[in-house]
C-alpha cells in the first residue's frame, strides 16, 4: 500500500468533515495554547524575579534590625530599633569578607519643585551605596566625601521623580527641590530601572548623603538597615557569619539569646523567590497539561463516535479492497493530523495570548523554544495515543457487518 494514497484518503475524509475536524482539534488547540501561555507566564515571572533580585546589587548582604519570627517572616521595622551607624563602621573595620558597606536611613517626604509636588521615599546612604546596589548615575554625579562630612543638601533622583517634577526628558541637574521644606540641589539622575517583580517602582526614589538625611531630616540615630557587599559570590555566607559574630559581640548578646538583627544575603532571596516561582510554574504547567489531556480524550471520544458513525464508510472501503491495515493507518493519520495541526494552531494562539497578557496585563512573559517544542510534541503523542484505540476498532470491523450497519 502506498502511504501517499492513504494520506490522500485521510485528507479527503478530513476535508469533507471540516466542522467535525475542527471540533476535534479544538481540544488540542486549547490545551497547547494554555500550556504555552502558562509556561510563558511562569517563566516570565521567574525571570523577572531573578532580574529584580540581581538589581538589588552584586553579592549584596542586608542587615536589618530585629529578629526573624517563626516561619521566616521579618518583623515590622521598629519592633526593635537597634542598628546604629557605628555597627556599620565596626563591620567595615573587622569583617574581611565584606567589600563595601553603607548604612541606610529613610524617610517618606513631601517634595516640591516650583509648582509641582510629589511624595516619595528619601534614602540617606554613602556614595558607595550606588555601587553596592548596581545603580548607575546616568547624568551628573554621586556624592563626594565632603558632601557626606558637611551633610550637604544635595541629592540624586530617579527617573520617576524627574518625570513628575520636571517633565520627561528635561535635565534637572542643578535645580533646587524642597524635601520637607529643606532645599536640596540635584546633582545626579539615576538610570531607569523600571518596575521590580514585587511591583514597586524602582525609579521613584531620592538618594541623599547619609549624614544629611540623618541629621537634617530625622530625630533618631537608628538605621533602617545596613547594606553591604561580599568580596565575592562564594564569600557571601562567610560574610554573613562574620557580620553576625561582630554584631552579636557589639550588641553584647549572650549565647542563649537570639540575634536582635537579621542578615539576608542576595542568594537567600533568590532561593526563596526561586522556589516560589518554580512552584508557580509547576502549578500552571500541570493545570495546562490537564487541559491538553482533556483535549486528547476529546480526540479519542470524537474518533470513537466517528468510527461508529462511519461504520458503513469503513465497510465500503473494506469491500473495495482496503486491508485492515489501510483502515488503521487512515484513522491514525487522521488523528495525528488533527493533533498536529491543532498543536500548530495552539502554539500560534498560545504565543498571541501570552503577548496579550504581557501587553494588557502588564505581566512579564517569556516564551521558550523548549516549551513550544514540548507542548507540540506532547500533542502529537496524544494524537497517536488516543487515536490508536478507535483506529484499531475501525480496522477490525467485519466488512459484511459494517455494510449492513444502518
How far apart are CB 274 and another protein at their closest, in Å? Answer: 56
Distances 184 to 64, 137, 289, 363 between C-alpha atoms, Å: 28, 18, 57, 37
Residues 380-399, interacting with another protein (CB under 8 A): 399
Total binding residues toward another protein, as defined by CB under 8 A: 25
Find the part of the chain contacting another protein (CB under 8 A) among 155-163, 183-191, 223-231, 321-329: 321-329
Local structure of 390: helix, strand or coil: helix
Q: Which one of 171, 323, 359, 370 is in contact with another protein (CB under 8 A)?
A: 323
Pair 251, 261: CB distance under 8 Å: yes
Find the part of the chain contacting another protein (CB under 8 A) among 177-185, 189-197, 310-318, 358-366: 310-318
Find the part of the chain contacting another protein (CB under 8 A) among 178-186, 201-209, 273-281, 313-321: 313-321
What the block records as the C-alpha cell of 289 is 497539561
Local structure of 251: helix, strand or coil: coil
Tell me the per-residue interface mask from 82 to 101 with another protein, x by CB under 8 A, - otherwise: --------------------
* Contact status: 355 vs another protein (CB under 8 A): no
Residues 119-138, interacting with another protein (CB under 8 A): none
* Nearer Cβ to another protein (12/215): 12
Q: Which one of 319, 352, 356, 381 is in contact with another protein (CB under 8 A)?
A: 319
How far apart are CB 306 and another protein at their closest, in Å? Answer: 13
Phi, psi angles (nearest 5°) of residue 89: -60, -45
* Nearer Cβ to another protein (137/403): 403
- CA dihedral sign of residues 29, 30, 34, 37: positive
Distance of CA 23 to the CA centre of its chain: 34
Pair 206, 107: CB distance under 8 Å: no
Q: Which one of 165, 322, 335, 353 is in contact with another protein (CB under 8 A)?
A: 322
* Nearer Cβ to another protein (185/404): 404
* Nearer Cβ to another protein (18/181): 18
* Nearer Cβ to another protein (12/185): 12
- CB count in 10 Å sphere of residue 392: 15
* Nearer Cβ to another protein (5/69): 5
Pair 230, 97: CB distance under 8 Å: yes
How far apart are CB 20 and another protein at their closest, in Å? Answer: 11
* Nearer Cβ to another protein (297/400): 400
- CB count in 10 Å sphere of residue 275: 10
How far apart are CB 383 and another protein at their closest, in Å? Answer: 23
Q: Which one of 313, 349, 358, 366 is in contact with another protein (CB under 8 A)?
A: 313
Local structure of 179: helix, strand or coil: strand
What DSSP state is assigned to residue 201? B
Query: Using CA atoms in the order 167, 168, 174, 180, what is the torsion angle rounded to 10 degrees?
Result: 50
* Nearer Cβ to another protein (319/381): 319
How far apart are CB 2 and another protein at their closest, in Å? Answer: 4
Rounded distance between C-alpha atoms, residue 212 and residue 231, angstroms:
28
The DSSP bridge partners found for residue 110 are: 119
Local structure of 382: helix, strand or coil: helix
* Nearer Cβ to another protein (59/330): 330
Residues 5-24, interacting with another protein (CB under 8 A): 5, 8-9, 12, 16-17
Pair 182, 153: CB distance under 8 Å: yes
How far apart are CB 308 and another protein at their closest, in Å? Answer: 15
Q: For 66-126, what is the HEC assignment?
A: CCECHHHCECCCCCCCCCCHHHHHHHHHHCCCEEEEEEEEEEEEEEEECCEEEEEEEEEEC
Residue labelled with grid coordinates 490508536: 388
Binding site for another protein (CB under 8 A): 1-2, 5, 8-9, 12, 16-17, 312-313, 315-326, 399-400, 403
Amino acid at each position: 500500500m502506498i502511504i501517499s494514497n492513504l494520506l490522500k484518503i485521510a485528507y479527503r475524509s478530513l476535508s469533507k468533515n471540516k466542522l467535525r475536524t475542527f471540533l476535534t482539534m479544538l481540544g488540542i488547540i486549547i490545551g497547547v495554547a494554555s500550556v504555552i501561555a502558562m509556561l510563558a507566564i511562569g517563566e516570565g515571572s521567574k525571570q523577572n524575579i531573578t532580574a529584580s533580585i540581581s538589581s538589588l546589587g552584586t553579592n549584596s548582604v542586608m542587615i536589618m534590625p530585629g529578629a526573624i519570627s517563626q516561619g521566616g517572616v521579618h518583623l515590622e521595622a521598629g519592633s526593635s530599633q537597634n542598628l546604629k551607624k557605628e555597627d556599620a563602621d565596626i563591620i567595615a573595620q573587622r569583617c574581611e569578607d565584606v567589600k563595601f558597606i553603607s548604612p541606610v536611613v529613610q524617610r517618606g517626604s513631601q517634595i516640591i519643585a516650583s509648582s509641582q509636588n510629589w511624595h516619595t521615599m528619601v534614602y540617606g546612604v554613602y556614595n558607595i551605596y550606588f555601587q553596592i546596589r548596581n545603580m548607575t548615575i546616568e547624568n551628573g554625579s554621586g556624592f563626594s566625601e565632603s558632601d557626606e562630612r558637611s551633610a550637604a543638601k544635595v541629592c540624586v533622583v530617579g527617573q520617576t521623580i524627574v518625570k513628575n517634577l520636571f517633565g520627561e526628558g528635561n535635565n534637572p541637574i542643578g535645580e533646587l527641590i524642597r524635601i520637607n521644606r529643606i532645599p536640596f540641589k540635584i546633582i545626579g539622575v539615576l538610570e531607569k530601572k523600571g518596575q521590580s517583580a514585587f511591583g514597586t517602582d524602582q525609579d521613584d526614589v531620592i538618594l541623599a548623603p547619609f549624614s544629611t538625611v540623618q541629621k537634617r531630616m530625622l530625630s533618631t540615630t537608628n538605621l533602617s538597615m545596613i547594606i553591604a557587599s561580599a568580596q565575592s559570590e562564594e564569600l557571601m555566607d562567610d560574610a554573613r557569619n562574620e557580620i553576625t559574630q561582630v554584631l552579636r559581640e557589639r550588641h553584647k548578646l549572650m549565647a542563649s539569646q537570639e540575634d536582635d538583627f537579621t542578615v539576608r544575603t542576595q542568594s537567600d532571596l533568590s532561593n526563596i523567590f526561586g522556589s516560589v516561582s518554580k512552584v508557580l510554574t509547576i502549578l500552571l504547567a500541570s493545570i495546562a497539561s490537564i487541559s491538553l489531556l482533556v483535549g486528547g480524550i476529546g480526540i479519542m471520544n470524537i474518533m470513537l463516535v466517528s468510527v461508529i458513525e462511519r461504520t458503513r464508510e469503513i465497510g465500503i472501503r473494506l469491500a473495495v479492497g482496503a486491508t485492515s491495515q489501510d483502515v488503521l493507518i487512515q484513522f491514525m493519520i487522521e488523528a495525528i493530523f488533527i493533533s498536529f495541526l491543532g498543536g500548530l494552531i495552539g502554539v500560534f494562539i498560545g504565543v498571541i495570548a501570552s503577548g496579550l497578557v504581557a501587553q494588557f496585563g502588564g505581566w512579564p512573559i517569556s516564551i521558550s523554544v523548549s516549551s513550544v517544542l514540548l507542548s507540540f510534541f506532547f500533542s502529537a503523542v496524544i494524537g497517536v495515543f488516543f487515536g490508536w484505540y478507535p483506529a484499531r476498532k475501525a480496522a477490525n470491523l467485519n466488512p459484511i457487518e459494517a455494510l449492513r450497519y444502518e
